[in-house]
A = this chain, B = another copy of it.
């Protein structure tokens, strides 16, 4: 991994395309933004684009391909979203049917790819400011929860906001608000701090997705809108076909994380 951490995104994508890299992309091409992927057919694309537009905190769009194009040219020249992610998941009528390493055979010429920001982008500056990130310390996935905060509906798409949670001291929480406010294009500031029950989370030790992490004495949970939201919402609407990245297997762009900061 030491090697992959300092490699150029383009070179990592090539190793993924050749299926040399087949698992999680966490930590690869450090400093470059990684993205979630949702692919839908054109008939759903306007509603989904509108959904993301209306819900920028959970659904920060980094790039959207032209209908039929598999090239996310704004964030990765020459990349191919059909091949450059280690694992894809195929959902048919809202049901997960298959995990594959290449979706060329599923690609249709009216498909649109949505590349959506992920919290990896703001975890780097948190760590650089000396704020410990628990799930990284505990080497597991970030805990994620469904909340009672509804997203703004758009056409066929609606549902609750999913949040990710990082426990920290109150002083670190204040600093984390400042740091992540600099990144409105990648989830931005937290949407809740403290009592989980206020946003409809009954038991903080039982996340809906990802893994539970330790909350130490004196720490408070800090909640950010999560990129899992648009996938969960799209799935609920049971489109005939939807393709996503596999968990932890992200698209690595050519854009530096810092490019997404406003200050």
- Which of A's residues lie within 8 Å of B, judged by CB? 42, 45-46, 49-50, 52-54, 61, 64, 66-67, 74, 152, 154-155, 178, 181-182, 184-185, 188-189, 262-263
> A189-B262, A262-B262 are contacts. A49–B54 as well, Cβ < 8 Å?
no
Task: Please give the distance in Å from A172's CB to the nearest CB on chain B.
Answer: 18
Task: Please give the distance in Å from A238's CB to the nearest CB on chain B.
Answer: 20
Cα separation A27 to B229 with both chains bound (whole Å): 39
> A66-B155, A185-B184 are contacts. A53–B53 as well, Cβ < 8 Å?
yes
Contact B262 A184 (CB under 8 A): yes
Residue in B42, B54, B74, B188 whose beta carbon sits within 8 Å of that of A74 in the complex? B54
> A181-B262, A262-B184 are contacts. A64–B53 as well, Cβ < 8 Å?
yes
A185 cross-chain contacts in B, Cβ below 8 A: 184
Contact B46 A181 (CB under 8 A): no
Contact A61 B53 (CB under 8 A): yes
Task: Please give the distance in Å from A112's CB to the nearest CB on chain B.
Answer: 9
Residue of B nearest to A50 (CB): B64
